[in-house]
Amino acid sequence: MGQIVLTKVRKAFGEVEVIPGIDLQINDGEFVVFVGPSGCGKSTLLRLIAGLEDISSGKIEIDGKDATDAPPGKRGLAMVFQSYALYPHMSVRKNIAFPLKMAGMSEAEQNARIENAARVLNLSNYLDRRPGQLSGGQRQRVAIGRAIVREPAAFLFDEPLSNLDAALRVVMRQEISELHQKLKTTMIYVTHDQVEAMTMADKIVVLHAGRVEQVGSPLELYNAPANLFVAGFIGSPK
């Protein structure tokens, strides 16, 4: 579970080709970071994988099955949004339950999953609060909880920490890494922050103008950047 294979994935918005063609394999249980400067296509690529945008051509396989035309809800993936996407008028419990309720799951099963997610995220004592009564870090954990309860084959994060202050960002990075170690589920994490990429990733995918410049472990990229763009971006002395 959690293997994602992209073959010649291309995306154009009208005349503008944002992603000319990407081949990429993400393995089960990997923590993969898409990193690159603003506008290089990170969010677009993630949204193509999630099914929130249609690809213009190519193929997306998830766990060996062709998912190219599958709607987002049938891909078995869960996108984690920034915490401001929470419903302010709903309790933490209801926020986390929302996707399960939409899927028509029984209350008993919903509650079991919510309590499990709350335990993993240290939110058990906060389930009856509203997002406005939580700290920034707790709110971000609720947003992650909403993904965990769906028991996805992979989690997709799009710059989830970018509206948190620097100190909290460091804490949340650590928490997401620990979550990955606990769940051992594939995670794809989009960021423009090199430090985030280097500290969190098993595998980094460096993007530049819709193309993959290099794929490798943080150490590989640092020690052997494929070109000057990667060297400059990662900050290694090539």
Binding site for ligand ADP (CB under 6 A): 13, 16, 18, 36, 38-44
39 interface partner picked from Mg ion, ligand ADP, none, CB below 5 to 8 A per type: ligand ADP
- In the complex with ligand ADP, the residue whose CB is nearer, 18 or 78, is 18
CB proximity list for 200: less than 8 A, separation 6 or greater: 31, 33, 173, 176, 177, 189
- In the complex with ligand ADP, the residue whose CB is nearer, 39 or 73, is 39
Q: What is the distance between the alpha carbons of residues 109 and 74, in angstroms, rounded to a whole number?
A: 20
- In the complex with ligand ADP, the residue whose CB is nearer, 171 or 209, is 209
Pairing outcome for strands 65-66 and 57-62: antiparallel
Is residue 56 a contact point for Mg ion (CB under 5 A)?
no
State the nearest-atom distance from the C-beta of 177 to ligand ADP, in Å: 22
- Nearest in space to 6 (alpha carbons), one of 177, 229, 211: 211
Q: What is the distance between the alpha carbons of residues 12 and 15, in angstroms, rounded to a whole number?
A: 7
- In the complex with ligand ADP, the residue whose CB is nearer, 114 or 197, is 197
18 interface partner picked from Mg ion, ligand ADP, none, CB below 5 to 8 A per type: ligand ADP
CB proximity list for 123: less than 8 A, separation 6 or greater: 92, 117, 138, 141, 142, 145
State the nearest-atom distance from the C-beta of 227 to Mg ion, in Å: 23
SS (H, E, C) 14-53: CCEEEEEEEEEEECCCCEEEEECCCCCCHHHHHHHHHCCC
State the nearest-atom distance from the C-beta of 47 to ligand ADP, in Å: 8
Figure out which of the listed residues 43, 111, 116, 177 binds Mg ion, where binding follows CB under 5 A.
43
State the nearest-atom distance from the C-beta of 10 to ligand ADP, in Å: 13
- In the complex with ligand ADP, the residue whose CB is nearer, 2 or 41, is 41
Binding positions for Mg ion, rule: CB under 5 A: 43
